[in-house]
Amino acid sequence: MLARAVTHALVGLDPRRVEVEAHLQRGVPAFAIVGLADRACQEAKERVRSGISSAEAEWPSRRITVNLAPAGLKKEGSGFDLPIALAILAASHQVPPERLAGHAALGELALDGRVRPVAGALAVAEGARRSGYPRLLCAADSAHEVALAGVEPVPVRHLAEVVAYLRGEIPAPEPPANGAPAASAQRPPDLADVRGNERARRALELAAAGRHNLLLAGPPGTGKTMLGRRLPGILPPLTDEEVLEVTRIHSVAGLFPPGRPVITSPPFRSPHHSASAPSVVGGGPGPRPGEVTLAHRGVLLLDELPEFPRPVLEALRQPLEDGVVSIARVGGRSLFPARFQLVGTMNLCPCGGRGDPGAECSCSPQRLAAFRDKLSRALLDRFDLVVTVPRPRSAELGGAAGEASDAVRARVVAARDLLASAPPERTREADDLLARAVDRLPLSARGRERVSRVARSAAALAGCERVLPEHVAEALAYRHPRELAVA
Ligand SMILES: Nc1ncnc2c1ncn2[C@@H]1O[C@H](COP(=O)(O)OP(=O)(O)OP(=O)(O)O)[C@@H](O)[C@H]1O
Ligand SMILES: [Mg+2]
């Protein structure tokens, strides 16, 4: 007696079709799972056995072999529980195999037979759609993700419910009644809170318009972290395609806030400086997406940039350039998208006194050199905009609130539209200015490219059809200042 259920395993973000074959033979009762199953998969034995008993179905008193094919693909996690249970039930004729054949399945089983959601339901459902399965048996909490992939979810709460549904005793269960999930999380903090700092606010707006990387440098307590955290609030909402991309990543990482399985606004990630290189760029078994991938289409804030270990910062260089992280593993390569905007904040020296007219820097030249050593020229070169954030004056701090994020976002959206439909080109004069700057400043080829992109964003924000010399001049003013000169 042999029966099959179909599910999908994830390699990185990629779904791969997996056939779960259950073979029941005469002989001493036993239960084995073969086919490169990891520990969580092996533990499925206990959950499936208890789940089937709790669903008031019969545990076949046979020699049961479950094969997860293809055997060469590593299977991880607990999402195979439900398909394994269904293959066994079909092989023992407790559910009709021909009814099961029209469904893919995904879900973890609790010992009492309840079906639990697992990470990555959206990517698995996309795999099911590609393999030609119109329906996916899944936990009720995964139903929204599955529907997002264009597959009809059959949301089930308990294994007994699946059995009854497949036997045709009950109609397909309805998705949870609380309807579409509340898409908007709590709003990001508002720019109105930031007083003064006009130049840094302008840099933030330019960064949002052109998706530029931004470095905020200055003495302590001047509002650098505050400004960095406010970038997501002035970014346009994600497009439909981006919603799918970002939701897929966060689903695979198992990072949904409860009741919010769809991400519609640009993500914001701010790892602590003690984070390891694999946690930032991705890796480990699986492999798992890192912070750069979780920040895809959004913002990665590295607060106190020089505190991050240099290997972590250097590991960022490649994804910053390519927008993708490639992780090689035995048996294949995983590609993780990583098109994020990097925002860094830093003091100008270890004691924090530099750049503050009211304080004196007490750092020794050696300490200063070691501090600067942390940031390679190559990394600094990848920041399109570098601003020093001076201490706001007391009149500014006591003055009126700054412009609110909504107003800034409206300008950013208009500029993005212009950049997408008719990107402004440089005039002859603007070209000349840029050429002179390349000769006079230490401006690398990448630096030149970045200046010209920032100039284009400045023109778009001004609603200009051409990039004028003033836009190039503004962009040049955001190249790294002498205080940050790396030896
Ligand atoms: N421009 C500003 N407008 C209003 N409040 C500000 C401003 N700058 C700083 N503050 C206040 O100071 C606090 C600290 O600011 P923030 O954490 O952004 O400083 P920082 O520049 O990141 O300092 P550090 O270098 O020590 O990390 C904020 O929570 C806010 O209350
Ligand atoms: Mg700070």
CB 338 within 8 A of CB 323: yes
Residue 319 belongs to what H/E stretch?
A: helix 317-322
CB 292 within 8 A of CB 281: yes
In a domain, 172, yes or no: no
In terms of domains, do 435 and 372 share one? yes
Amino acid at 215: L
Q: How far is the CA of 77 from the centre of ligand 1 (A)?
A: 43
Residue written as token pair 């909402």: 237
Return the pLDDT at 259. 65
3-state secondary structure of 79: coil
Task: Summarize pLDDT for 194-251 with one digit per residue, the tens.
Answer: 988 899 999 999 999 999 999 999 999 899 999 999 999 999 999 999 999 999 999 9
Ligand approaching nearest to the C-alpha of 389: 1
Rounded to whole angstroms, the Cα distance separating 369 from 392 reads 28
For ligand 1, pick from 224, 226, 230, 371 the residue to mutate: most ligand atoms within 8 Å of CB. 226
Nearest CA to ligand 1 atom 16: 223
In terms of domains, do 340 and 390 share one? yes
In terms of domains, do 258 and 158 share one? no
Q: How far is the CA of 217 from the centre of ligand 1 (A)?
A: 12
In terms of domains, do 151 and 265 share one? no
Rounded to whole angstroms, the Cα distance separating 16 from 73 reads 9
Amino acid at 457: S
Mean pLDDT (10-residue bins), the chain, 487 residues: 93 93 95 89 92 94 95 90 97 95 96 94 96 95 91 95 95 73 68 91 96 94 94 95 94 79 90 93 85 96 92 91 87 87 93 83 88 82 90 78 92 96 92 90 85 95 94 91 57
**Which phi and psi (to 5°) does residue 82 adopt?**
-65, -50
**Which phi and psi (to 5°) does residue 447 adopt?**
-60, -40
In a domain, 184, yes or no: no
In a domain, 177, yes or no: no
Rounded to whole angstroms, the Cα distance separating 346 from 356 reads 14
Of all atoms in ligand 1, which is nearest to the CA of residue 304? Answer: 27
- Token pair of 284 as six digits: 């480990």
Nearest CA to ligand 1 atom 12: 221
- Token pair of 29 as six digits: 């009762």
In a domain, 285, yes or no: yes
CB 41 within 8 A of CB 73: no
Return the pLDDT at 261. 74
Ligand approaching nearest to the C-alpha of 196: 1
Q: How far is the CA of 227 from the centre of ligand 1 (A)?
A: 8
Q: Give the number of other CB atoms < 10 A from CB of residue 470.
A: 16
Return the pLDDT at 185. 56
In terms of domains, do 295 and 397 share one? yes
In terms of domains, do 313 and 424 share one? yes
Return the pLDDT at 382. 87
Phi-psi region of 366 (alpha: psi -120 to 50; beta: other; left: phi over 0): alpha
Phi-psi region of 40 (alpha: psi -120 to 50; beta: other; left: phi over 0): alpha
In terms of domains, do 452 and 379 share one? yes
CB 475 within 8 A of CB 210: no
For ligand 1, pick from 193, 204, 222 the residue to mutate: most ligand atoms within 8 Å of CB. 222
Nearest CA to ligand 1 atom 27: 220
Nearest CA to ligand 1 atom 31: 223
Return the pLDDT at 343. 97
Strands (E) located in 220-313: 268-269, 299-302
Of all atoms in ligand 1, which is nearest to the CA of residue 193? Answer: 4
Rounded to whole angstroms, the Cα distance separating 83 from 51 reads 12
Return the pLDDT at 175. 78
Return the pLDDT at 182. 54
Q: How far is the CA of 405 from the centre of ligand 1 (A)?
A: 17
Q: How far is the CA of 220 from the centre of ligand 1 (A)?
A: 8
- Token pair of 425 as six digits: 């080109």
In terms of domains, do 447 and 364 share one? yes
Amino acid at 398: G
Of all atoms in ligand 1, which is nearest to the CA of residue 226? Answer: 18
| CATH code of residue 311 | 3.40.50.300
Nearest CA to ligand 1 atom 26: 220
Rounded to whole angstroms, the Cα distance separating 70 from 84 reads 15
State the pTM of this model: 0.90
Nearest CA to ligand 1 atom 5: 194
In terms of domains, do 246 and 159 share one? no
In terms of domains, do 420 and 336 share one? yes
In terms of domains, do 141 and 202 share one? no
In a domain, 185, yes or no: no
In terms of domains, do 217 and 87 share one? no
Return the pLDDT at 479. 85
In a domain, 317, yes or no: yes
Strand 299-302 with 268-269, pairing: parallel
Alpha helices in 191-307 (DSSP H): 198-210, 224-229, 240-252, 277-281, 291-294
Q: How far is the CA of 430 from the centre of ligand 1 (A)?
A: 36
Of all atoms in ligand 1, which is nearest to the CA of residue 219? Answer: 25
All residues at 6 or more sequence positions from 253 whose CB lies less than 8 Å from its CB, including other chains: 119, 288, 289, 294
In a domain, 304, yes or no: yes
In a domain, 7, yes or no: yes
**DSSP single-letter state for residue 219:** S
Rounded to whole angstroms, the Cα distance separating 353 from 347 reads 8
Domain tally for the chain? Answer: 2
Of all atoms in ligand 1, which is nearest to the CA of residue 347? Answer: 25
The domain boundary, picked from 133, 150, 166, lies at 166
Expressed as residue numbers, the domain containing 289 is 191-484
| CATH code of residue 109 | 3.30.230.10
Ligand 1 binding pocket (C-beta < 6 A) is 194-197, 220-226, 345, 347, 392, 397
Strand 466-467 with 324-329, pairing: unpaired
Task: Summarize pLDDT for 330-358 with one digit per residue, the tens.
Answer: 667 889 999 999 999 999 888 888 888 88
CB 270 within 8 A of CB 280: no
